[in-house]
Each structure stands twice: as C-alpha cells, then as structure tokens.
C-alpha cells in the first residue's frame, strides 16, 4: 500500500471514519495491523480512529449522548490484544457513495489505462466505469479521456518487466544515434501520450529511460535480469547530470508549464512581458526540438551556440519549403491519384 506523504485534512479524515466503520462491521473481528495495512494508515492512526468512533454516536432525544446512542467496542480485546470488534453501532453500516468528482476521476483514469496492457480489454473497463457511475451520489462530472491504441511493443515490454527477463532492441537516441541495446527492464512509466521503459542498460552500465516509440526489433531473451535493488530508479523522466547544458530562454508566461520538466531552478525574471528562465537539458539536440515545437513561445537567449543550433535546425526545416512554387516533383503521395496531394 502506498504510504501517504502528507497528513490528512479533516474532510479526508471524515471519509476515512465513514469508511472504516462499515469495514469493521463487515470484518467483525480485525487486527489493528491488518486494518492499517488495508487502509494504508499507521497503526496509531487506526487506534486513534477506533477511540474516536467508540465515543461517537447520536445526541439522542435528550441531546446528551446517552450510552445506548453511542458506538461501543470490545475494550478488552482492543486494549489487551490490539483487536477491534464493534459491539454496538448506530446510524451507519454501509459504505458511502462516491462523489461525482471522485467517480469521474477514477473513470477518466480507467479510460487512460485502456491504452495499457494491464487493462483486461475495453469491455470490462466499460462495465467497471458503469459500476462507478452507479456508485456516485450524483451524475459523475463530464470528464473524458480518449482511448488510444496501445503501442504494440508495450505488451512485450510489460511481459519482460513482469517476468524479470532481459530485453534486446534497436534504439535510436535523441542524438540520432542508432544501436542495438541489451537491458534489464525495471519499470514502465508513461507521461501523457508517451511511454518509457526505465531499464539498466548493459551498454551504458547505468539506469536509462528509453522511449518506447524509439525502440524497435524487440527480442525477449531467456536471460534473467540482474539484482538492481541498490539502484535508484528515478521517479521523474528528466534527470540532471554533470554533462548537462544550461540554456537561458525567454518564454511567454502561458507556456511556462510546458517547460516545467527542464527548469534548472525556480528563478525567473520578467523581460519585455516574457519570463527569462534557465533550462537544463542533456544536450542541444533535445533543445532544438523542444524550442522548434513551441514556435513563437520560447526564444533561446544564451549561450550563442545553443541559439545557433536552434536557428540551424529550423532553417534546415524551412529549406524544405521554397518560397515559390508548391508543385511536388520529388515526392509522391502514398496513393497517387486519390486527390489529396
């Protein structure tokens, strides 16, 4: 169970209390440790909640919280054996419904998973989504995520990760170099539409992120992967290193979130209505693609060689479009004559 990093806020604590009671009733007799595991809480948080529930109840007709209007637990089991047993309950016995927003968040998350080999087909996803909608107290928020086709390689990579077997593949890196790689797959990670394999690369002798769409000719070998428990698999896709390139750019404020992965630090200053920030990238090849893909939104200020690299990249692209004459003499449409070219 994933451990929380931040303390819960009061509404989250309320949701927990309202969920914990029906869990205890359903299970009848449960260890503190087991409950803590099930809800991803600490044992002390569970004990605090039990004490709170055991003294909670209804104001009753007199408005004074008489014993019969309160929850009660088997105090001996709780204090001597760390075991929770509710012996009297009031008002609630069932799981609470989901809110419209909660249901929508899970439903849209499921739609995104449709692209992954983990989902057992879109039919079961559809029925799961319908169940979530039925479990919401009002119509789920209208939030949708387009179902995308899974990359064919993904299923094989997933198998390699699950079975702990080495992979061999051709890889084209961002510098444009192609080569055969052998790697110990560790984790598949996606960011929006892009899928990556985090793996220990035998060639580079280090953990690397591989873009799945740059991998080809994959072979799942019978070789087991090595022990990488001592290695840190980065939780983000963009890792700084000593060979990195720091580049000063001006960016229009609205486009700043698009550069968040590359910001070297959090400092920025305003220059003519734009923000001047420093980006950190592995090399100039990544930079030229990034800047050319945000035309008019990002301008490289320094160093000069980075400016030149971007200018050269874009003007080489521009050279493909002569000013005059759009006639196509050197390339054909895939199906000549179908009227689109």
Partner 1 sequence: MIAPVSGASRKGEPRIPVEDRLFSLVLALLATETGLLKSEILSSVRGYAERYDDSGQNANLERQFERDKDDIRELGIPLETVESPDRPGDNQALRYRIPKGLYDLPDEVRFTPDELALLGLAAEVWREASLSADSQRALTKLRSLGIEPREPVIGYAPRLRVRDAAFEPLRQALDRRQSVRFHYFKPGEGAPRERTVDPLAVVLHEGRWHLHAFDRDAGAPRTFLLSRIIGAVEPVPGMTFDAPPADIQDRVLAELDELRSRNAADLAVTAGSDAEVRLGRRAVLRDEDAGVIRLHYTDVAVFADELAAYGPEVRVIAPDSLREAVRERLATVVAAHRGGGAA
> Looking at 54, 207, 277, 281, which residue binds partner 1 (CB under 8 A)?
54
| DSSP bridge partners of 178 | 172
Q: How far is the CB of 84 from partner 1 (least distance, A)?
A: 13
Binding mask 168-207 toward partner 1 (x if CB under 8 A, else -) reads: ----x-x-x-x------xxxxxxxxx--------------
* Site for partner 1, residues 265 to 284, rule: CB under 8 A: none
Q: Find how far residue 7's CA is from the centre of its chain.
A: 21
> Looking at 46, 110, 167, 183, which residue binds partner 1 (CB under 8 A)?
110
> Looking at 136, 183, 251, 281, which residue binds partner 1 (CB under 8 A)?
136
Instruction: Measure the CA–CA gap between 121 and 114, rounded to whole angstroms.
Output: 7
* Site for partner 1, residues 200 to 239, rule: CB under 8 A: 211, 213-214, 216
Q: How far is the CB of 263 from partner 1 (least distance, A)?
A: 13
Give phi and psi for 218, each to the nearest 5: -75, 140
> Looking at 229, 241, 266, 315, which residue binds partner 1 (CB under 8 A)?
315
In DSSP notation, 249-315 reads EEE-GGGGGGGGGGBSSS--EEETTEEEEEEEES-HHHHHHHHHTSTTTEEEEE-HHHHHHHHHHHH
By CB under 8 A, the count of residues binding partner 1 is 148
Q: Are 276 and 301 in contact (CB under 8 A)?
A: yes
Determine, following the binding rule CB under 8 A, whether residue 150 of this chain makes contact with partner 1: no
Nearest alpha-carbon partner for 286 in 260, 310, 267 = 310
Instruction: Measure the CA–CA gap between 284 and 175, rounded to whole angstroms.
Output: 9
Determine, following the binding rule CB under 8 A, whether residue 63 of this chain makes contact with partner 1: yes
Determine, following the binding rule CB under 8 A, whether residue 316 of this chain makes contact with partner 1: yes
- Cβ count near 238 (within 10 Å): 15
Q: How far is the CB of 204 from partner 1 (least distance, A)?
A: 19
Q: Which helix (H) or strand (E) holds 44?
A: helix 43-54
> Looking at 29, 155, 219, 292, which residue binds partner 1 (CB under 8 A)?
292
Q: How far is the CB of 191 from partner 1 (least distance, A)?
A: 6
Q: What's the half-sphere exposure (Cβ side, CA atoms, 13 Å) at 248?
A: 10
For residues 107 and 242, which CB has a smaller minimum distance to partner 1 in the complex? 107
Helices 43-54 and 10-27, packing angle to 10 deg: 80
Determine, following the binding rule CB under 8 A, whether residue 3 of this chain makes contact with partner 1: no
* Site for partner 1, residues 294 to 313, rule: CB under 8 A: 294-296, 299-302, 304, 307-308, 310-311, 313
Residue that has been written with the tokens 């002569």 in this structure = 322
For residues 205 and 257, which CB has a smaller minimum distance to partner 1 in the complex? 257
Determine, following the binding rule CB under 8 A, whether residue 85 of this chain makes contact with partner 1: no
Instruction: Measure the CA–CA gap between 238 and 264, rounded to whole angstroms.
Output: 11
Stretch that binds partner 1, among 158-166, 200-208, 239-247, 262-270 (CB under 8 A): 158-166
* Site for partner 1, residues 10 to 49, rule: CB under 8 A: 10-23, 26-27, 38-39, 48-49
How many residues belong to the chain? 341
Q: How far is the CB of 68 from partner 1 (least distance, A)?
A: 11
């Amino acid at each position: 169970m994933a451990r929380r990093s931040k303390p819960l806020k009061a509404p989250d604590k309320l949701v927990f209390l309202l969920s914990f009671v029906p869990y205890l009733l359903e299970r009848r007799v449960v260890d503190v440790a087991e409950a803590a595991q099930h809800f991803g809480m600490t044992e002390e948080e569970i004990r605090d909640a039990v004490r709170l529930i055991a003294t909670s109840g209804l104001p009753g007709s007199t408005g004074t919280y008489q014993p019969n209007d309160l929850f009660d637990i088997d105090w001996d089991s709780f204090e001597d054996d760390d075991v929770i047993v509710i012996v009297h309950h009031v008002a609630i016995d069932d799981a609470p419904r989901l809110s419209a927003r909660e249901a929508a968040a899970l439903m849209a998350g499921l739609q995104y998973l449709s692209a992954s080999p983990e989902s057992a087909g879109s039919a079961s996803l559809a029925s799961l989504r319908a169940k979530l909608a039925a479990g919401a107290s009002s119509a789920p928020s209208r939030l949708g995520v387009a179902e995308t086709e899974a990359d064919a390689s993904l299923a094989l990579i997933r198998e390699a990760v699950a079975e702990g077997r080495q992979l061999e593949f051709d890889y084209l890196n961002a510098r444009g170099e192609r080569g055969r790689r052998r790697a110990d797959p560790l984790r598949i990670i996606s960011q929006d539409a892009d899928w990556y394999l985090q793996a220990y690369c035998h060639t580079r002798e280090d953990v690397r992120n591989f873009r799945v769409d740059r991998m080809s000719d994959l072979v799942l070998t019978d070789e087991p992967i090595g022990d990488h428990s001592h290695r840190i698999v980065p939780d983000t896709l963009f890792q700084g290193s000593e060979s990195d390139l720091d580049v000063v750019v001006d960016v229009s404020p609205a486009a700043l979130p698009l550069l968040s992965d590359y910001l070297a630090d959090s400092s920025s200053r305003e220059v003519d209505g734009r923000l001047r920030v420093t980006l950190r990238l592995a090399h100039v090849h990544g930079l030229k693609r990034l800047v050319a893909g945000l035309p008019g939104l990002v301008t490289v200020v320094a160093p000069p060689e980075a400016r030149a690299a971007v200018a050269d990249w874009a003007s080489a692209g521009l050279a493909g479009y002569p000013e005059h004459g759009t006639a196509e003499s050197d390339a054909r449409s895939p199906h000549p004559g179908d009227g689109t070219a």
